[in-house]
Structure 1
Amino acid sequence: MSLIGALSRLSLQSGALTSRCLHTTSVLCAEPLKKKKKLDPQIIKQREDRRKKKIEKQIRRLEKNARQLKPVEELEVPLELIDNKAQRERKLPQLSSTELEHRALINKQWARFKHDEKVADFQIIDRLVQSQKKALQELRNESEELYQAAIEIDMQLLSVSLKGPVSTPPIKNYVSPDGDYIHQSMKWE
């Protein structure tokens, strides 16, 4: 009896062990693979040759057009204007030497006037900066506190007011608009 009892206890214990350690999976339902159709080697070779020819043709076309720049439509002159160029061209009269000298003098006078105007502006700015420095130096000699108050940046000059957090939390369930646009660029091959 003791041998039978020991075996039954052992079988109970092994059953407990297998229930803890043995894991099973569900049956995988698979179907057999489809058989590949056997193609004639000559047909396969023809298909590969067609692919090669097509790729070679694309390469030749790209090499041919590699040096050509894509035209910019805004910079192209319409063909109608090119055809009518002779009709649209103005015949300018020849200028006399006195007229050319007169125009050159006017250009020189204008350049001199603009130069003098620029120099005068720089002189005014220099005088203003010098007088400002002199006034600040006099103020510093009188009182250091007044000088520091004078050179302090006045935040009231810039009327900027910032309110609220720097970054805001996202809005729940917000769907951002994608935005519509019409793609109008030309395709060049």
Structure 2
Amino acid sequence: VAVDPEIAKIREERKRRKLEKAILKLKQFGKKPNPVEEIGIDIKLINTLDTRRREPAPINEEEEMKRIVILKEYARSRVLLANENVRWIKDATRRQFRALEALKMVSPELYKSAVSSEHCGLPSIMEGPSLTPPIEGYKSPDGDYKDITKQWVQPELPLLIKKFGVGRLIKTPTFQKKLLEQRKSQEGENKKEEEPKKKTATA
């Protein structure tokens, strides 16, 4: 069936406009991450979690023995390296002790200067409060903290009426709960107003 070129042109123009609108929406809302409270796991994924879990591949006996041998060789090499380090440190300290003993016999003054701590060592820069004794009779103020826990408050009745409508709103449990809370608060306010009147009447 032959299509009028004008109609085909109009259809192509509509498709192009729809694509442009979709691209604009993606640019506006694509980079905005959802809040953590709104992120939820799809129920279908939770139900199919067992089927999605991948079990470890079975290992034959030869491969298992090979891995055990490699692990033992690695542990043995680490132990030998640690023992070598300990032996080297002990050897160095023993030689240092012998050198100091020989220096003490030759020159006691040089021995004292060698054993004494070095005052001009590596430069160290420390920033922070100095260690000072506490002030006598100082009363420290109570620490203030800011509670940032989110409070999930029910919306007010005008907002609920605007959202659900009057007919649907009366049937909702949220409306019934809110109505009971408002009645209780109104009764409490009425009691507070009546108490001063009773006191003045008795006086």
Name the TM-score, length of structure 2 as normaliser: 0.41
| Structure with higher RCO (Cα < 8 A, 6+ apart) | 1
Larger Rg computed on CA atoms: 1
Higher share of residues assigned helix = 2
